[in-house]
Structures are given as structure tokens and as C-alpha cells.
Amino acid sequence: MVERRTFFSVALPHAILMIGVLIVFFPVWLAVVASTWDPATIINGQLGLLPGPYGAENYSRILFSGASSSTREPVWSMMTNSFVMAVGVAVGKIFISLLSAFAIVYYRFPFRMAVFWFIFITLMLPVEVRIFPTYKIVADLGFLDTYQGLIIPLIASATGTLLFRQFFMTVPDELLEASKIDAAGPFRFFKDTLLPLSLTTMAALFVIQFIYGWNQYLWPLLITTRDSMQTIVIGIRKMITTQDALTEWQLAMATAVLALLPPVIVVVAMQRLFVKGLVETEK
């Protein structure tokens, strides 16, 4: 601290940060509150800031039997789909990028740099800009309404490869030399030396990709038509009908809370890995 600490110089930051935290929490808190009331209270605009007595009823209804008017699919099964998709995207990306980064960093082969650039370019274009041609390819492969259709096209990018390449570059050469002296082959080196060293990087990438996969919207919206393949983010979208009278807000809000909880828990519980992943993948 450069200045003398006055009451003002300590209280002001606290006040501003608290207002920030309140604003950030407000919409989520209200969703939690709404998810514990009955429809009449909400429709009449009598919703206060405190939870009501209908929480257990609302949550058990959407989790196991589904909201009635819009979709009959229980939220439980939507959450399973989201979970499979998020883990699939995270694991798939880590798997393919570990292998390709290992090849690019630890092997000398013709066109190595060309291959690197070929992968690198995919960093630039998000799936949204090539959405319909990708849809057509996925349809031709018969992947509509399948987990592989949800997952594989989202793996097609270079973020993981670059991250692992960057990390492998920092691994001392002596380790490989030592491993060669011990007559260990490349797979042995990969499995026994490189993988254990990469665990933190893998975990950080997992956190980021899990959130990315769980929160996908446009892609699942396009390629899933059967209710049983819906992810939870798509499911909630279908509960909000344009005729407001038909929207069961208490159920929609309960679903929203369930949809945002898993990724938020991941961020809060693994904050260090999350920050590491965020800063390093985006660089």
C-alpha cells in the first residue's frame, strides 16, 4: 500500500465488490427462489426474495417425470446426455491432442511443420461458421441423434494440441535422454514420464472442455431431434414458450438451476485448474 490506509480506502473496495457480487448472484438467486414456488405466485408477480415451500415437489417432478406441457423428457435423462457429451468432448480432445502433440514434438518426420500448421489453422474457426456443411456430413455419416454426432465434431480443433505442445516443450531434454539410456522405447517414455508430468495440464484442459461441452447450444439444437437425446441446455429452451401463459416458470427455473450447477461446481471446486486452463488455452 502506497497511501496511508483510511476507513474510506478500505471500505470503498469492499462496497464496490459487494455490489458486484450481489449483481452477479441476483439472477441466479431469483431462479432458485422461483424454483421453490408454485406457478400462481410467479404468474401474479408476487414472488419475493425468499424461497417457498414447493422446492421438493418442483425438483422431483422435473427430474423424474418432466415438465408436462412442453417436453415429457425427465430432466434427469437430459443431464445424463449433457454429462456424456461434456465428458466425451473433454476426454476425446485430450486423447487426440496428447497423441498428436507427442508426435509433433518428439518425432522428426517429413512435413512436420506442415502438419503442425494444418492443425493450427483449425484454431481460428468456431463450429458456428461451418455449421450447415458440418451438419450435412454428420447426417451422411448417420450420426444425427447420437452421442458421437454430438461429440466428435466439437473435438475438431487445435486448442488441446497447442497446449500440450507448449507443455512438452518445457519438459527437459535430459528426461528423454535418460529414458533412451535406460533402453525405454517411445511408448514407455510417453506412458511413464510424459503422462505423469502432464497430469495438471490434462486436468486444466479437462475443466475447460467439460464446461465447453456442457454449455454447447447451437450444435445439439441442430443435430438432436429425439427428446431422449436432448441436452439440458436445449431442454430448458423448449420449456420457455413464446406464449408466456404456457411457460411453467417454476419448472423452467428449477431446470435452469440444475443446468448451471454442474459446471459452476466444477469451476468453484477446481478454481486453480480452471484459471490455469483458461489462461493457457486462450493464449
Partner 1 sequence: MEKRAVYAGVSTPALLLIPQLAIIVIFFYLPAGQAVWQSFQLQDAFGLSTIFVGFENYRDLFTRPEYLHALGVTVVFSALVAFFSLSIALLLAVMANKQIAGAGVYKTLLIWPYAVAPAIAGVLWLFLFQPSMGMVARWLQWAGIDWNPLLDGTHAMILVVLASTWKQISYNFLFFLAGLQSIPHSLIEASAIDGAKPMRRFWTIVFPLLSPTTFYLIVVNVVYVFFDTFGIIDAVTHGGPASATTTLVFKVYNDGRSGGDLGSSAAQSVILMIIVIALTAIQFRYIERKVNY
Q: Which amino acid is at 251?
A: L
Q: Burial letters for 191-209: b for 16+ Cβ neighbours within 10 Å, e otherwise?
A: eebbeeebeebbbbbbbbb
Which part of the chain contacts partner 1 (CB under 8 A), choosing from 9-17, 59-67, 73-81, 191-199?
Answer: 9-17
Is residue 183 a contact residue for partner 1 (CB under 8 A)?
A: no
Is residue 144 a contact residue for partner 1 (CB under 8 A)?
A: no
Q: Which of residues 93-132 bind partner 1 (CB under 8 A)?
A: 95-97, 99-100, 102-110, 112, 115, 118-119, 122-126, 128-132
Is residue 176 a contact residue for partner 1 (CB under 8 A)?
A: yes
Q: Which of 238, 213, 223, 204 is nearest to 83 (CA)?
A: 213
Q: What is the rounded CA–CA span in Å between residue 45 and residue 58?
A: 18
Q: Is the dihedral angle over the CA atoms 82, 88, 93, 94 positive or is it negative?
A: positive
Is residue 180 a contact residue for partner 1 (CB under 8 A)?
A: yes
Site string for partner 1, 13-42 (x = CB under 8 A): xx-xx--xx-xxxxxx-xx--x-------x
Query: Which run of H or E residues covers position 134?
Result: helix 131-140
Residue 74 beta carbon to partner 1: minimum distance, rounded to whole angstroms? 18
**Number of residues counted as binding partner 1 (CB under 8 A):** 104
Complex with partner 1: residue 32 or 76, whichever CB lies closer: 32
Is residue 195 a contact residue for partner 1 (CB under 8 A)?
A: no
Q: What is the rounded CA–CA span in Å between residue 149 and residue 223?
A: 8
Which part of the chain contacts partner 1 (CB under 8 A), choosing from 54-62, 71-79, 192-200, 269-277?
Answer: 269-277
Is residue 264 a contact residue for partner 1 (CB under 8 A)?
A: yes
Return the residue of 203, 215, 227, 281 that touches partner 1, per CB under 8 A.
215
CB within 8 A of 243, min separation 6: which ones? none
CB within 8 A of 68, min separation 6: which ones? 248
Q: Which of residues 221-260 bind partner 1 (CB under 8 A)?
A: 221-222, 233, 236-237, 240, 242, 244, 249, 252-253, 256, 259-260
Q: What is the rounded CA–CA span in Å between residue 101 and residue 41?
A: 56
Q: Measured between alpha carbons, how far is residue 53 from residues 36, 41, 241, 252 in Å?
A: 6, 12, 25, 17
Complex with partner 1: residue 74 or 211, whichever CB lies closer: 211
